[in-house]
Amino acid sequence: MAAVTRLFRSSSSSSSALFYIRRSLSTSAATELKSQTCPPRIDPKGRNVQWVFLGCPGVGKGTYASRLSALLGVPHIATGDLVREELSSSGPLSKQLADIVNQGKLVSDEIIINLLSKRLEMGEAKGESGFILDGFPRTVRQAEILDEVTDIELVVNLKLPENVLLEKCLGRRICSQCGKNFNLASINVKGENGNPDISMAPLLPPSQCASKLITRSDDTETIIRERLRVYNEKSQPVEDFYRGQGKLLEFDLPGGIPESWPKLLEALNLDENDDKQAATA
Ligand code: ADP
């Protein structure tokens, strides 16, 4: 684990900016971010962000983390992508990882930390600083290790009802050629217990991708249900871990990207004008 410690430490040592978000987090519960007035506009590319995105499978962590990564000029590091890269290689871990992922289980903390460590090392060599982590930490042990080696500024917890998550995972498609993500699901769910209705338009592929769509091998109903069960068992305690530190920003997605993205920017106190820079994300 020494390599992880060194790498995480080096990535945290350059932490400096995002001062206004940090200040709000250090003095109040993260949810209070929503009620604060916007800070003066500063160059989004000049920040060094160390954020984590939490949320159940299918909630859209990758979508929003990658948009924010483009906006803020920091790498979006998704441990699920690292796992999929490794299992599509002919490396020694490939078969072992495929068995775990296709059962909807979690990869061991040790394997995932090794993959993340390698990814950070590569980024460091390229001069990257800061990160938005997506899918890590997923266990309290991972969160404790991360805490030992770096100073996470903010943890965004994206939320959707479970029936929506299932539909979203089942509708998920990836273009095997360009790698872009799409979603064929058209979601219209009545809100329960006083919650608002949720509608999400499908995110359809352009004609050049339409014939090249593939589905993730773990996006079958049985495996999705197991991943949701595993999330509730192993990853919900991670939410509690960060809630206790006052770093958790709870964000109930109000709908699809057009409805949710501006509201997320608002909750993060990011300038609406920054939106334009992420439009191509
Ligand atoms: P999801 O859509 O379920 O959030 P991800 O793409 O984040 O899926 O991850 C895919 C799979 O990779 C997970 O089901 C799990 O097997 C493995 N994985 C990803 N991140 C972690 C992690 N931090 N710890 C353990 N396993 C992980």
Exposed/middle/buried for residue 13 (C-beta within 10 Å: 0-12, 13-18, 19+): exposed
pLDDT recorded at residue 48 = 64
Cα–ligand 1 centroid distance for 210 (angstroms): 26
pLDDT recorded at residue 272 = 60
Catalytic-labelled residue, pool 47, 84, 227, 247: 227
Residue 227 designated active-site: yes
Ligand 1 within 6 A of CB of 112: yes
Q: Whose CA is nearest to atom 7 of ligand 1?
A: 80
pLDDT recorded at residue 91 = 82
Q: What would the mean pLDDT of 192-198 be, rounded to a whole number?
A: 85
Q: Which of the listed residues 52, 112, 172 should we mutate to test ligand 1's pocket, taking the one with most ligand atoms within 8 A of CB?
A: 112
Q: Which of the listed residues 52, 56, 77, 79 should we mutate to test ligand 1's pocket, taking the one with most ligand atoms within 8 A of CB?
A: 79
Question: What distance in Å separates the CA atoms of residue 148 and residue 9, rounded to the nearest whole number?
Answer: 9
Domains along the chain with CATH numbers:
49-160+220-269 (3.40.50.300)
Cα–ligand 1 centroid distance for 42 (angstroms): 34
Ligand 1 within 6 A of CB of 107: yes
Q: Whose CA is nearest to atom 9 of ligand 1?
A: 80
Cα–ligand 1 centroid distance for 242 (angstroms): 19
Residue 141 designated active-site: no
Number of CB atoms found within 10 A of residue 2's CB: 7
Query: Which is nearest to 200 in space by CA: 214, 186, 183, 218?
Result: 186
Contacts of 242 (CB under 8 A, 6+ apart): 52, 54, 143, 152, 155, 157, 248
Q: What would the mean pLDDT of 159-170 be, rounded to a whole number?
A: 95
Cα–ligand 1 centroid distance for 83 (angstroms): 7
- Band the pLDDT of 170: cuts 50, 70, 90: very high
Asked if the model's pLDDT at residue 23 lies above 90, the reply is: no
* Residues 135, 155 contacting (CB under 8 angstroms): no
Residue 47 designated active-site: no
| Furthest C-alpha separation in the chain | 51
Ligand 1 within 6 A of CB of 130: no
Asked if the model's pLDDT at residue 193 lies above 90, the reply is: no
Please state which of the ranges 12-26, 69-83, 257-271 shows the lowest mean pLDDT. 12-26
Handedness of CA 81, 240, 7, 125 (dihedral sign): positive
Catalytic-labelled residue, pool 159, 216, 234, 243: 216
Q: Whose CA is nearest to atom 10 of ligand 1?
A: 80
Pick the more confident residue, 194 or 9: 194
Asked if the model's pLDDT at residue 84 lies above 90, the reply is: yes
- Band the pLDDT of 270: cuts 50, 70, 90: very high
Q: What would the mean pLDDT of 231-240 be, rounded to a whole number?
A: 97
Ligand 1 within 6 A of CB of 256: no
CA-only gyration radius of the chain, Å: 18
Residue 119 designated active-site: no
Identify each DSSP E strand in the chain by its residue range. 50-54, 76-78, 131-134, 154-159, 172-175, 181-183, 187-189, 198-200, 213-214, 248-252
